[in-house]
Amino acid sequence: MALVTPSVTKWVAGIAALVLVLASVSFVVPAAGSVSPVPFDDTVKTGGTAVDTRLSEVEGFEVPVAQVHFSRYRYVIGYYDVQTAAADVSTPESTRQFGDPLAVFVSDYARVTPLVDDDGYLRTQYNRHPGWVDASEASFVVDSGVRVPSGPIVVPFSDADAAQSFADEYGGDVVDWQTLRDRSGSPLSTRLAAFDASVADHHDWATQTVAASDSLFDRPVSTVVGEDAPTIEAAVESAPEDTAVYVPAGTYSVERVDLNRSITLVGAGPDTRLVGDGNGTVVHIRADRAAVSNLSISGVGDVGTRRIRATNESVDWDTRVQLAYGRGDAGIVLDGANESAIRGVHIDTPASGVIVRESADSVLANLSVQGSETAAEGFMGAVLIGERSVVENSTFRDGRDGIYTHRADGSVVRNNRMEDGRYGVHEMYTSNMLVADNVVRESRVGIIIMTRPVGNLVVGNDVRDSDFGFIPAGSDTYVADNVFADNEYGIDVSGDRQVYTRNVVVGNEIGVRGSSTFPTNVVVHNDIVDNDVQVESALGPMRTWTSEGEGNYWGDLPLEDADGDGAYDRAFQPSGPVDAELGRHPAALVLSRSPVMDALRSARDEVAGLRGSGVVDAAPRTEPVQPDVLDALTHAESPSSQNATERADV
């Protein structure tokens, strides 16, 4: 039994007073009344990707939208994707946090003559804007092949005949609102199986792509620098296609080496040193199936980004980003060089290491990139723009970001190490990408996903000694089997319909920051222990981090599991003033068992207005999910010194 001293009594009294104040807060459920649609710009928006919305503004195609009015939420939620809205309003989490949906309105294409262009994008005759229709009265065309950049879309109609006519012309089936809701919401087990299958598919594609690049390094040598040609430039110029140029050990001053044919430039290892003149890119590849291997590069220009000069012509957002991030100096640039490969190259650069522009199915492997000492002075280790590529088994030190992507959907970044940069992996406008088994140390953010992408996979990474372990945006991100340890913040739970599972979050100043506005993220089967603050959450409604009766492990709590089912008998609120101190302060246990707290917990479960902001786990686990990993982390003398091969099966 805890010893109740005068100081403890004072502490209990203070917390009890706070609890009573919270419990006295009144909450009035607004009357449903007559709910009408509002301008979409006035909603709190979610769903869709920034690529969808930006390209639709530039190119003029349609993104069907929805808006949901909830009974216990003061704001109207706007969705850039109708199917996401259907999925969200079908979840018990949404009902628990926001109340019942009073009304759902969706775009109405029945009266604007919808068309589908050659790219599969939805347009309207004369660019007319659709109105609104109550979703319960609408008909929806699904599986028609109509899409936005991020994937297929659902097209709503207020008139069933108009929907059927659209389906007859463009394909697909017509369903009602309830059917759309039923097919949009999937059990967690189904979602996890789909995510795991996607991870396997990405790995398979990457492995096959790497294997296909092996033949680039088996080409016969046609030209030896110093024997058959006086300079590297001359050797490259004279070499026949599908052969290799061999560069013996030594230091070679070059201005720029241009590979304009399918040849391989191969050195004798790190003792083959190409030194540029410091005024730009050193090796520029402009041909499919070209390759560079086994050499070192320095003398790279120091221009990380080339600013856009003022012209009479406007520059769209996509071009602007590509110019800013993909047109600076680099050790090697791949420019429209599909199925090319860089292997076993060391680059010392004040700007970027390798830039891959519109070069599909390219491979960067076993690289070592040394950037500038500070992020402000340097740029990116590797930049992927416009097409999918593989980056594996490489090391990126210093500089700004280890790996930066822009619209490189489907890329695979695996088994790399990033140290002392701004961001380890930085995804911009990139969906359906696998970031797996990477190690990040001493960065501002280990892995960051921006601009609302969809379907990204963050699996098996190890981020330590950084300001932030992981920050996501967007939706349907799979965050699984990662370690986030000894950071200022472990992970951020934000975005929409993300799944966090089997992660180990330990030894951080703040373990998890819950910053999502919408309670649609799944956080289950994680080990969140020994953080100075387990959960920080002050934005949005109360979130329930439990799914299908399963919760997370928060450490050895002084609570009961009377039925021995592996879950404590009551809900646990790691962000609450009392539960956050369980196991740390003796008074917390006393207060947690008081009738006042029992009453408040009961009221919180029943009345949305008393839930406030924060996180609750309805079925906290009594045993860890990853006991071996957790034990290795909590008993390691110096976790930050471990590398990828030293991790305990993470």
User: What is the SS3 string spanning 332-389?
Assistant: EEEECCCCCEEEEEEEECCCEEEEEECCCCEEEECCEEECCCCCCCCCEEEEEECCCE
Q: Report if residue 530 sits inside a domain.
A: yes
* Segments forming the whole domain that contains residue 130: 40-185
What is d(CA 488, CA 469) in angstroms, rounded to the nearest whole number? 8
Q: Report if residue 592 sits inside a domain.
A: yes
What is the reported pLDDT for 589?
A: 59
Residue 176 CB burial class (10 angstroms; 0-12, 13-18, ≥19) = middle
Outline where 446-594 has alpha helix (H).
Answer: 586-592
Q: Six-digit token pair at 612?
A: 């406030």
Condensed to tens digits (0 to 9), the pLDDT of residues 438-464 reads: 999 999 999 999 999 999 999 999 999
SS3 breakdown of the chain: % helix, strand, coil, rounded to 5?
Answer: 25, 30, 45
- The three-state secondary structure class of 645 is helix
What letter represents residue 283's amino acid? V
Q: Report if residue 261 sits inside a domain.
A: no
What is the reported pLDDT for 316?
A: 77
Q: Report if residue 160 sits inside a domain.
A: yes
Q: Report if residue 612 sits inside a domain.
A: yes
Q: Report if residue 156 sits inside a domain.
A: yes
Choose the final residue of a domain: 185, 201, 226. Answer: 185
Q: What percentage of the chain has pLDDT greater than the value 70?
A: 85
User: Does this model's pTM top 0.85?
Assistant: yes
What is the reported pLDDT for 609?
A: 40
What is d(CA 306, CA 53) in angstroms, rounded to the nearest whole number? 26
What is d(CA 140, CA 118) in angstroms, rounded to the nearest whole number? 22
Length of the chain: 650
Number of domains, the chain: 2
What is d(CA 216, CA 224) in angstroms, rounded to the nearest whole number? 17
User: Which segments of the chain have a pLDDT < 70?
Assistant: 1-33, 93, 307-314, 517, 539-541, 583, 585-613, 636-650
Looking at the DSSP assignment, which residues form a beta bridge with residue 106?
A: 66, 133
The residues near 28 (Cβ < 8 Å, ≥ 6 apart) are 609
Which DSSP string do the residues of 82-137 spell out, in sequence order?
HHHHHHHTTSHHHHHHH-SEEEEEEEE-TTS-EEE-TTSBEEEGGGPPPEEEEGGG
What is d(CA 487, CA 116) in angstroms, rounded to the nearest whole number? 49
The residues near 168 (Cβ < 8 Å, ≥ 6 apart) are none
Q: Report if residue 560 sits inside a domain.
A: yes
Choose the final residue of a domain: 132, 161, 185. Answer: 185
What is the reported pLDDT for 20?
A: 40
Q: Six-digit token pair at 61?
A: 């195609």
Choose the final residue of a domain: 156, 185, 214. Answer: 185
DSSP single-letter state for residue 310 = P
The residues near 98 (Cβ < 8 Å, ≥ 6 apart) are 70, 71, 72, 73, 519, 541, 608
- The three-state secondary structure class of 422 is coil
What is d(CA 259, CA 216) in angstroms, rounded to the nearest whole number? 14
